[in-house]
Structure 1
Amino acid sequence: MELQQAGPIGVFDSGYGGLTVFKEIIKKLPQYDYVYLGDNARAPYGVRSFDTVYEYTLQCVEALFRLNCNIIVLACNTASAKALRNIQQKDLPKRKSLQRVLGVIRPTTELLGELTRSGEVGILGTQGTVSSQSYVIETQKFFPEVKVYQEACPMWVPLVENREHDSPGADYFVKRHLNNLLSQSQGIDTVLLACTHYPLLMEKIRAHTPGHIKIIPQGEIVAGSLEDYLKRHPELDALCTKGGGREFYTTESVDDFNSKANIFLGQPVNAKYLHL
């Protein structure tokens, strides 16, 4: 085992959406140092193949390792669905270290069955996440009796990233996909927002969803899961520096990132450019 130097926790997303998860992580665990990396130059990942998403995600994970991150959270549903398993099973074993890469799907599905009373849940996500069937497969592992229904919402990410999520036009796409999902079963009582962009559409999603249905964003779940993971793995917690530092990197325009990041994080950022 290599001697490792302590460093920040890495948080990765294909773009801006992971900042909604990052926001909840730093709220729950403010004492840690963090590095956030958005691969904005190659976003969105949701429409790309499994092989491409794996290649891009691995490159970004390796970049975060070079920035001395020992724990990396893939705060991206598409990367978690299409790349995490390969990275955990093929790539990490080659590294003689305690470095770990975590995703957002498993911690969410570990709780999903406890959130529904009817035993029927709906998943709203990107085309990549939905077609991977990851939420269906993982939920069945923990709660085999729960029925999972899915709906891909390809227009929702562009609406958010182009600052149209509050516009009247967004209502059409929100209502359309919610209707598509809920028409699959009258028993759905819990809907998961399986994309980190979607919490910004929460007001409209809530307006077009019957009041008895719970709408679940992932940020708090992932933050709570990371806190629990660090408690259960003190040897990894010891490799995380705790100075309350925050660094942001993007593979695209720094000015664009700084401008749009504020929408997701709710505070100004000063990002640096990272060449992969």
Structure 2
Amino acid sequence: MTQPIGIFDSGYGGLTIMREIVNALPQYDYVYLGDNARTPYGTRSFETVYQYTLQCVRHLFEQGCQLVVLACNTASAKALRNIQQLDLPTLAPGPNGPSRRVLGVIRPTTEVIGRYSQTGQVGILATRGTVLSESYVVEIEKFFPGMGVFQEACPMWVPLVENDEFDKPGADYFVKQHIDRLLAQSPNIDTLLLACTHYPLLLPKIKQYTPPHVTILSQGEIVARSLADYLKRHPDLATRCSQSGERRFLTTDSAADFSRQATIFWGDTVTARQVVL
């Protein structure tokens, strides 16, 4: 049985993270699981997101995954800590702590975001659930104390992407509206983080309405570099992840619908299989 690296998201957006991870580490096997039947997570309670995410992590462990990346900001914000602290010791017991690992996308980003800002003021564009969790505010303070963090929830951005409207004229109003609101919070914001895996598809329009002196960061490359470093620092885990370049795609909803829609995010043809959790 293969022992792939698992990539989890509530829907399609995590494919933008997986694409960058595969580009950086093409030798490994990967299995992607999208919980499309229960998306979106951004509007759900902490407890619900935690339970849904835990079910998906369990399923990926059953697929042989030794390492699972929560390529979903909402799941990383609302579920990761509980899973790491409460569930992993039981799900994957080992002589020196859990034998398997679950990682998120928030920490790798917050570890480096301060390096991009000259003014010490950054803006976060995210779903309402991620904004309300305050996860970015808390984590950035750990690594860059005193940094100004300003947040803006963009509830229309995910629907625009998932309904294939991200590059249509109708998206301009909502993109400009939220960027203007965020930048109005402080004139010194010089770095914007796209803290949702769907948002890279809106990048051309985001750039259009963002002043040229403001740096825009997507998470994919940052997370991919962080994972590569993590595997170097944990060679025992890296050797347990199989390496035959296999990619599999799973969804909790229609496989045909997923395969069709996922192509937008993955950039290539996808053939998915439906699973029941």
TM range (shorter): over 0.9
> 2-side partners of 1:206 and 1:96: how far apart?
46
SS at match of 2:16: helix
1:151 aligns with 2:152: yes
1:167 aligns with 2:164: no
1:262 aligns with 2:258: no
> 1-side partners of 2:28 and 2:2: how far apart?
11
1:72 aligns with 2:68: yes
Q: How many residues align?
A: 272
2:18 corresponds to = 22
Q: Which amino acid aligns with 1:168?
A: P
2:180 corresponds to = 179
**Residue pair 1:6, 1:238 contacting (<8 A) in 2 also:** no
2:78 corresponds to = 82
> 1-side partners of 2:172 and 2:211: how far apart?
15
User: TM-score w.r.t. structure 1 length?
Assistant: 0.98
1:239 aligns with 2:235: no
Unmatched tracts of structure 2, length 5 or more: none
> 1-side partners of 2:67 and 2:214: how far apart?
35
> 1-side partners of 2:89 and 2:117: how far apart?
37
SS at match of 1:26: helix
SS at match of 1:248: strand
SS at match of 2:245: coil
2:196 corresponds to = 195
> 1-side partners of 2:169 and 2:246: how far apart?
38
> 1-side partners of 2:84 and 2:14: how far apart?
20
SS at match of 1:163: coil
Percent of residue pairs identical: 65
- Superposition deviation, residue 93 in structure 1: 1.4
- Superposition deviation, residue 145 in structure 1: 2.2
**Residue pair 1:25, 1:223 contacting (<8 A) in 2 also:** yes
Q: Which amino acid aligns with 2:6?
A: G
Q: Which amino acid aligns with 2:93?
A: K
- Superposition deviation, residue 6 in structure 1: 6.1
2:143 corresponds to = 142
**Residue pair 1:230, 1:236 contacting (<8 A) in 2 also:** yes
Structure 1 runs (4+) deviating above 3 angstroms are none
Q: Which amino acid aligns with 2:142?
A: K
1:52 corresponds to = 48
**Residue pair 1:6, 1:70 contacting (<8 A) in 2 also:** no
1:212 aligns with 2:208: no
1:116 aligns with 2:113: no
Provide Cα deviations, 1:12-63, integer angstroms capped at 9, x if missing partner.
Answer: 0000000000000000000000000000000000000000000000000000
User: TM-score w.r.t. structure 2 length?
Assistant: 0.97
Q: Which amino acid aligns with 2:178?
A: H
- Alignment CA distance shift 1:236-1:6 (3 Å): farther
1:100 aligns with 2:96: no
Unmatched tracts of structure 1, length 5 or more: none
